[in-house]
């Protein structure tokens, strides 16, 4: 485990404090590191219509994408669950599509940390090739 894993986890833990988890009470923070080392944070923001809720991972990723970032190194996800919590299926798919096979760092408030590669969390991911599309460098 590298030093930046724990530090990125701490940044995610701070982002978690801004979560709006009115309905579930499950606060999540995320910290996404770009290839150049810049970090974008996100927290979950819930709606009474759960389908409109945004997860912390997607908030961080969309912030980075909207700032022009396209290459990523790792994402840390922080919760207060007893076991470090990996991203949900929707977040795994979006991360796979837009961030590639990045490192996924999960951390809880007890400082328990786990590190995975995204392709281990989402084996056999649905990709553009399944649609018959070719991925170009410009689209990434």
Per-residue pLDDT of the chain (140 residues; tens, 9 = 90+): 688 999 999 999 999 999 999 999 999 999 999 999 999 999 999 999 989 999 999 999 999 999 999 999 999 999 999 999 999 999 999 999 999 999 999 999 999 999 999 999 999 999 888 888 765 555 44
Segments making up each domain of the chain, as ranges: 3-139
- Which spans in the chain are helix H? 3-16, 56-66, 89-99, 118-121
Q: What angle do CA 45, 107, 65 make, to 5 degrees?
A: 50
pLDDT, residue 136, reads 54
Q: Does domain 3-139 have CATH number 3.40.140.10?
A: yes
Q: Which of 7, 17, 46, 57 is catalytic?
A: 57
pLDDT, residue 2, reads 85
Q: How far is CA 7 from the centre of its chain?
A: 15
What is the pTM for the complete model shown? Answer: 0.91
9, 10, 13, 3: which is closest to 76 by C-alpha? 9
Strands (E), the chain: 29-34, 39-43, 72-79, 103-108, 113-117
Active site (annotated) includes residue 17? no
């Amino acid at each position: 485990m590298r030093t930046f894993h724990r530090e990125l986890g701490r940044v995610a833990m701070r982002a978690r404090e801004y979560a709006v988890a009115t309905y579930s009470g499950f606060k999540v923070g995320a910290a996404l590191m770009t290839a150049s080392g810049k970090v974008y944070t996100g927290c979950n923001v819930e709606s009474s219509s759960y389908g409109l809720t945004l997860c912390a991972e997607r908030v961080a990723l969309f912030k980075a994408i909207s700032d022009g970032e396209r290459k990523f190194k790792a994402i840390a996800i922080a919760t207060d669950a007893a076991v470090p919590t990996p991203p949900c299926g929707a977040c795994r798919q979006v991360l796979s599509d837009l961030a590639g096979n990045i490192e996924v760092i999960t951390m809880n408030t007890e400082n328990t940390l786990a590190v995975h590669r995204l392709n281990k969390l989402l084996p056999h991911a649905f990709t553009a090739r399944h649609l018959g599309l070719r991925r170009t460098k410009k689209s990434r």
